[in-house]
Amino acid sequence: GMQPGAVLPLDQVQMTELLAETTLRGNSRLEAALFAHADSVTRKFFGDDVYYRGIVEFSNVCQNDCGYCGIRKHQHDVHRYTMAEEEVVEVARWAFTNRMGTLMLQSGELPTQKRLEYLQRVVAACREATVAQDIEQRGLDPKAVGAAEREAMGLRIALSVGELPRAHYQALYDAGARRYLLRIETSNPELYHALHPSSMSWEHRIECLEALRDVGFQVGTGVMVGLPGQTLCDLAADVAFFKQFGANMIGMGPYITEPNTPVAEMWQALHGHIDKKEHMNAMLHLTTRVNALARVTIGGVNITATTALQAIDPNGREIALRRGANVLMPILTPTKYRENYQLYEGKPCITDTADECRKCLNARVSMIGKRAKMGAWGDPPNFVAP
Ligand code: 5AD
């Protein structure tokens, strides 16, 4: 028998076989065992705790043309916005007050000097504002709080702003950001190149991930599941990649077709004949199988129950939290901007406020018998501070 909570040293062939057995041959007993074991490993490392990362999608301006994305540069019917700096800092204050622990700033990709300076100011201001809130809350004298103590106060700031020169990454770390999310999208270079314009490369993506880790960031990465042309072997390789790279956070979401994009056309050509609803249901379960595989083979890593899972099933995020995931990302973007940050069709929570998202996720977490670990930064056990 399997020791509950034991991390399993499955290799890529064994993982492919497990995915094939559960996905192609419909072995539901094996699937149930995989999910149960993933939950036992999650509980061993995190107990009932679910970590939050509040996310603010501060700009949809993008200079890239990823073939699947709803805010790609050549998606013409998108109204482009960038939030005012003070607006982002206001969200940070709200996030601290509501004990989010981490604030994730996400946007399209824009490697300009102007954007870098905007981000440096925003990151520094979010840190400053929330450290000040923390100092006041604890009734401390601001003048008596040293740098090391400040570092341990306020919100952790995470960034998800794409591929940038290493000097930009360093400047953003120096401004106070400590975490960075950059999905590899797929660990298969050929598939990556088929989904992205020729100006982008898988190798450069890897260089960025390595630069981020070198600079000292806690690094998150991830992939989409169900990309046209993607195989179960690719998905097993994705998990092997997360492990080998030493990702501190993993985000896996189903690929969802976004109308008027090249990859949606590829998908249509391959899968246009099958029932979309049924396909999406299959993708929910496939995504959670890969999540579960990552949990049982890697162990103490943060794994997100991604928003995209809820786009394909109203209970998608809760289901993932019972199958190996331990992180939720409540959307804190001011409501008026949300309709313009649709990376894929059917993104949920578009008309909600930050407060509604917080309450809704809290309710979902307690419904499955877990609890939101409010106010925690939620470093994963596998992160070793530089
Ligand atoms: N379906 C699912 N996920 C998508 N992303 C972008 N477009 C889509 C889509 N159509 C994901 C990418 C990116 C993240 C911010 O959103 O993985 O890294």
User: How does DSSP assign 148-202, residue by residue?
Assistant: HHHHTSS-EEEEE-----HHHHHHHHHHT--EEE---B-S-HHHHHHHS-TT--H
How many angstroms separate the alpha carbon of residue 254 from the centre of ligand 1?
8
Q: Which atom of ligand 1 is nearest to the CA of 254?
A: 2
Asked if 330 and 359 count as a contact pair (C-beta separation under 8 A), the reply is: no
Cβ–ligand 1 contact at 192 (below 6 Å)? no
Rounded Cα–Cα distance for residues 180 and 104 (Å) = 9
Distance (Å) of CA 185 to CA 108, 188, 248, 365, 367: 15, 9, 16, 27, 31
Cβ–ligand 1 contact at 78 (below 6 Å)? no
Rounded Cα–Cα distance for residues 39 and 90 (Å) = 36
Q: Is residue 378 assigned to a domain? A: no
* Tokens 């201001």 found at: 125
Domain of 310?
Answer: 17-372
* Tokens 């959307």 found at: 331
In this prediction, residue 280 carries a pLDDT of 92
Q: Which two tokens stand for residue 218?
A: 């806690």
Q: Is residue 10 assigned to a domain? A: no
How many angstroms separate the alpha carbon of residue 29 from the centre of ligand 1?
31
Angle between helices 12-23 and 28-46 (to 10 degrees): 130
In this prediction, residue 272 carries a pLDDT of 87
pLDDT of residue 143 exceeding 80, the answer is yes
Q: Which atom of ligand 1 is nearest to the CA of 343?
A: 7
In this prediction, residue 152 carries a pLDDT of 95
Query: How many domains would you assign to the chain?
Result: 1
Q: Is residue 122 assigned to a domain? A: yes
Q: Is residue 383 assigned to a domain? A: no
Q: Is 97 left (phi over 0), alpha (psi -120 to 50) or beta?
A: alpha
What percentage of the chain reaches a pLDDT higher than 70?
99
Cβ–ligand 1 contact at 68 (below 6 Å)? yes
- Domain harbouring 197, CATH code: 3.20.20.70
Q: Is residue 331 assigned to a domain? A: yes
Condensed to tens digits (0 to 9), the pLDDT of residues 50-78 reads 999 999 999 999 999 999 999 999 999 99
Cβ–ligand 1 contact at 163 (below 6 Å)? no
Rounded Cα–Cα distance for residues 147 and 261 (Å) = 47
Q: Is residue 380 assigned to a domain? A: no
Q: Where are the alpha helices (DSSP H) in the chain?
A: 12-23, 28-46, 85-97, 113-137, 147-151, 166-175, 189-195, 202-215, 232-245, 262-271, 276-298, 307-312, 316-321, 335-338, 354-367
Query: What does pLDDT average to over the chain?
Result: 96
Condensed to tens digits (0 to 9), the pLDDT of residues 199-257 reads 999 999 999 999 999 999 999 999 999 999 999 999 999 999 999 999 999 999 999 99
Q: Is residue 379 assigned to a domain? A: no
Q: Is residue 152 assigned to a domain? A: yes
More confident call, 12 vs 1: 12
In this prediction, residue 294 carries a pLDDT of 98
Cβ–ligand 1 contact at 255 (below 6 Å)? yes
pTM given for the model: 0.97
pLDDT band at 1 (very low <50, low <70, confident <90, very high): low
pLDDT of residue 2 exceeding 80, the answer is no
Cβ–ligand 1 contact at 253 (below 6 Å)? yes
Cβ–ligand 1 contact at 267 (below 6 Å)? no
What percentage of the chain reaches a pLDDT higher than 90?
98
